[in-house]
A and B are shown apart, each in its own frame.
Chain A
């Protein structure tokens, strides 16, 4: 926080800072008007709920509520129009248990209940950034609750469109492959290693969980997608890619909101989506039937399998001679000094087998990772402008998605070394709120972008919905390890230029059960015109 203060002194004199309304940090602070008010008296006005709060000085009536759901994203954006009526936008609703199985802290149902209460059952816009469980699982789990909502519009990335043949084909292929990979990894359950486990989790994120009764066939993600695409009466989702003109519901337009879609890149710029990698690395990885035989198969009949220990029978010449394993004999007799005994050979054979088995999972895991990155890159990236305040929601966008709008390129630029395109520069340096990409992972929010955001010297709020210790420690060199999410250096960088709030820094209470903060910290000093307020299971940013 000290760092941030230093930055902001350039613009804010100590005197003015003192005059500003200060939020209580670390303790729940009741908003000026409690939200319960709206729940008890559902608004008669279909285009917005009644007054939820009164903006303080310097605020213009935006509230971004980040629910602490564990490892996942669930954001509720509420806008006050000139007459004080509230209009609501949901951006994702998901959680995923992750590799550690601890990502789902069991609060999403309570969060959904709060959302219903706050919105009074009407949401102007629902945005699904991409189809990973940590962004949509809540839609599936609370499908009955969601079905009761009235919704003004649903936005999804272009990749979900059923009218875009390329997208459709690949989405089908992708799901099929993810299911196959998942089955493959599950089939290997007996000798499950950490690596396989990681890979299986990746694929479960892509397909959703299978335990829910109705979801057994396709996974819970399918339930969520079905809800979003067909579950809201009279609403056909809009599928957007970068540059599309958005069709905002009228109530939001009237309230003064405008929006711009920055990602994903158009389907034609498929290179950016790592699609080539996908075809090479994943699509053909497994047996073509995509499932039933995705486990092991026998390339040769049982008659070809031999026991290497078996000494030769009379006249037999094709057997494993101890000499075969000389390379793996430890110690001096490896190099032609002295013969290899049967015992030497047996030990050597064990080392050989161990070495080869350890080399096995890498390719499978790489395939799983590629697929994962591909899905993340489908993320719908939306910039909202409400009365001059800019809010950027990027989903889990990874390199290719960012590159397209930040560097204005249609070819992959892995170095991310290009010069930032002037319009993108303008956006990045004028943000008021940034939803940190991919739960703070190092593979989202490119370095150049994080740096660019800091150059304006204009402090902003960064909301990072994440859960520490869910994904492994970072070792990018070694894909058998998980990816460190959130990534320490990135969050440090963001914290140095913004008021960064992590959802896992607050303790919450769900159904009377206390869930400790994973990374306890007090709320940071917000920039001028912003209040950060703790709720029972959320953090609110008032702008």
Chain B
């Protein structure tokens, strides 16, 4: 079979999971590599969002709809992971808020939010 045709038939196939992996690595890289404390929080968010997409994708069925009890609906998506991610989103928002609040206080205490400059100040003390 023609490989391109094959791809289009399977589409999206594992496409979502590739996106998850790419997003996750981008987020993780930002967390590790950036010195700016706000950017680190943003990276952490991207990292978490990748996991949300992962959960949502695994519950979705092609052509599936919302799980409503009705005789016309036979194929539906699993609502449980979607609900779980609702919880995880709330946790993520709380983490982001707390992280940013800490950054504000770090800025007041150190006068900078660059990690290397903070480390230099801590070494002096």
A and B, one complex?
no
B residues at A contact (CB < 8 Å):
none
